[in-house]
Amino acid sequence: MAAQVLILVNGIPATGKTTLSRKLARDLNVPCIGKDDIKELLFDRMGSADIQWSKDHGGATADMVFVLIERLLDAGRSFMVENAFYQSFARPRISAMLESRNVTCLEIYCTADQEVRIARFKARNESGERHPGHVDHNYYTTLEDVDETVKRYAPLDIGPRITVDTTSFGDEDYATLVAQVKKTLGQAITTEGTI
């Protein structure tokens, strides 16, 4: 088992990835890179506008995330990345980075009931807590296109995968997930501590 671990928290938007990854990162004692954290810094520095502006920022942020992944892998660090990865874009890039490295890559893939996910997506946007630069209201009409969404955000399947249904995800479910993660990773020891 590799001592270095990369955990990818992936899934369709509004399936609870950010909430889950922040809690897991704390409990597993690993740093977590969240794509939206970086994207929102860009919005704050460079402003926000329309949907194309948001997409352009998203593309630039994805490139930054991949650079960070590569640099942390080069440094031998174990870490977590949270994002709704476009499979066609992310899978070949991450696979290429892992090809010559002794790294265990675990994907935690979040799902949720379609109606629950749509309700969360809208509630998150309308709560005022979501950065307005995401312009999520522009995506309301595409939320029903399940086939395209599922295809775009399909699991990366680079290494072992744990699928988590967050529709009604409680403390017991979380404890089970942590135990599964530790078992899957074989208690890999890293420079940050024990996962």
pLDDT of residue 97: 96
Angstrom distance (rounded) from CA 55 to CA 67: 19
145-160 pLDDT per residue, tens:
677 788 889 999 999 9
pLDDT at 144: 64
Cross-strand bridge partners of residue 10: 109
What is the tens place of the pLDDT at every residue in 119-147?
887 887 778 787 666 666 666 666 666 77
pLDDT-flagged residues of the chain (< 50): 1, 189-195
The DSSP secondary structure of 78-131, one letter per residue, reads -EEEE----HHHHHHHHHHHHTTS-EEEEEEEEE--HHHHHHHHHHHHHTS-S-
Q: Cα(50)–Cα(135) distance, rounded to whole angstroms?
A: 7
Element (H, E) at 183: helix 171-185
Give the total residue count for the chain.
Answer: 195
User: Rounded CA gap, 132 and 48, in Å?
Assistant: 8
Tell me the CA distances in angstroms from 40 to 68, 136, 156, one per residue in order.
17, 13, 25
pLDDT of residue 123: 82
Q: Which domains does the chain have, with CATH numbers?
A: 4-189 (3.40.50.300)
